[in-house]
Amino acid sequence: MSVAKERPRKVTTHVLSELKMRGEKIAMLTAYDYSLAQIVDKAGVDVILVGDSASNVMAGWETTLPITLDQMIYHGASVVRGVNRSLVVVDMPFGTYQGNSKEALTSAIRIMKETAADAVKLEGGSEVLESVERILSAGIPVMGHLGLTPQSIHKFGTYTVRAKQEEEAKKLIADAHLLEEAGCFGIVLEKIPAGLAGQVAKELKIPIIGIGAGNQVDGQVLVLHDMLGINQEFSPRFLRRYHNLFAEITGAVGNYIDDVKGLDFPNDREQY
Ligand code: KIV
């Protein structure tokens, strides 16, 4: 068998639209480093998001605002080196695309050149449309992000569910259409009512990926550290924990400490 035939089929934006067309849900997770990206890719996830949630889970900041473009590029390049099959999307960090479409394009080009990722994601609708269009004009695939947009947390003042009121819901639907018409290949909808997310997924041809947006969308995304239970402080209703790695790792580290202090490690077979 040729090497080419053994390689898994690389997920592209075209593959994602095929998945939507045939009604197969898209599985997306975040990753920020080489080792975990390798595991997530081998497990078969369709899309890996190098989220600016790295600011929270990797760097310990309270919001996503402090992470820099250089830091996102470091995480993005680390992830790409661990991935064979998944589509890799890198978040454009706060301050690198809002209000200046030329700077947005420069930032997106740096991400694509220096990480070898497949696409970028940015938050917002009509406010960032010019930036979205300019990035797309360079042939860079763009994913949108509407609903709860964490880079605007200081405007919202709270992480509660967005677009519950009619006016905000209408703007979200209009923004989703604008992003699709501009040429985005997909949109993340974060923390909005399930019915509204379902309506957007039905009206749009591009895949709609939800986080806290119910089960009527085309796929789901979670932050890896949250779903693995590494991060214990964050437990919104939408989060399903698949493991308690905090407890597992604490136990393993505790055993190591006991072995070192009890003179059990290293034993005769573990030395030269
Ligand atoms: O940064 C991130 O992890 C995200 C997801 C919450 C969608 O944008």
Tens-place pLDDT, residues 31-85:
999 999 999 999 999 999 999 999 999 999 999 999 999 999 999 999 999 999 9
Instruction: Name the band, by pLDDT with cuts 50, 70 and 90, for residue 231.
Output: confident
How high is the pLDDT of residue 2? 46
pLDDT at 5: 53
Mutate which of 55, 72, 162, 223 for ligand 1? The one with the most ligand atoms within 8 Å of its CB, which is 223
Distance 222 CA to ligand 1 centre (A): 7
Question: Average pLDDT in the 205-215 region?
Answer: 98
- For the chain, what is the HEC assignment? CCHHHHCCCCCCHHHHHHHHHCCCCEEEEECCCHHHHHHHHHHCCCEEEECCCHHHHCCCCCCCCCCCHHHHHHHHHHHHHCCCCCEEEEECCCCCCCCCHHHHHHHHHHHHHHHCCCEEECCCCHHHHHHHHHHHHCCCCEEEEEECCHHHHHHHCCCCCCCCCHHHHHHHHHHHHHHHHHCCCEEEEECCCHHHHHHHHHHCCCCEEEECCCCCCCEEEECHHHHCCCCCCCCCCCCCCCCCHHHHHHHHHHHHHHHHHCCCCCCHHHCC
Instruction: Provide the pLDDT confidence category of residue 91 given band limits of 50, 70 and 90.
Output: very high
Q: Is 91 in the pocket of ligand 1 (CB under 6 A)?
A: yes
Determine the atom of ligand 1 nearest the C-alpha atom of 150. 8
Q: What's the whole-model pTM score?
A: 0.96
In this predicted structure, the answer to whether residue 30 has a pLDDT above a threshold of 50 is yes
Instruction: Pick the residue whose CA is nearest to atom 2 on ligand 1.
Output: 51
To test the ligand 1 pocket, which listed residue (211, 227, 228, 230) has its Cβ within 8 A of the most ligand atoms? 211
CB-count burial class (<10 Å; 0-12, 13-18, 19+) for 192: buried
Residue of 18, 114, 133, 190 marked catalytic:
190
pLDDT-based confidence at residue 234 (cuts at 50, 70, 90): confident
Helices 34-43 and 69-81: crossing angle, nearest 10°?
50
Ligand 1 contact via 188 beta carbon (within 6 Å) = yes
What is the reported pLDDT for 1? 44
The whole-angstrom separation of Cα 182 and Cα 225 is 33
| Ligand 1 atom at minimum distance from 209 CA | 7
Paired strand residues for 88: 48
Nearest protein CA to atom 8 of ligand 1, as residue: 51
Which atom of ligand 1 sits closest to the CA of residue 188?
Answer: 7
Smallest CA-to-CA distance from 59 within 48, 74, 47 is with 74
| Spacing, Cα 53 to ligand 1 middle (Å) | 6
Q: Is position 103 annotated as part of the catalytic site?
A: no
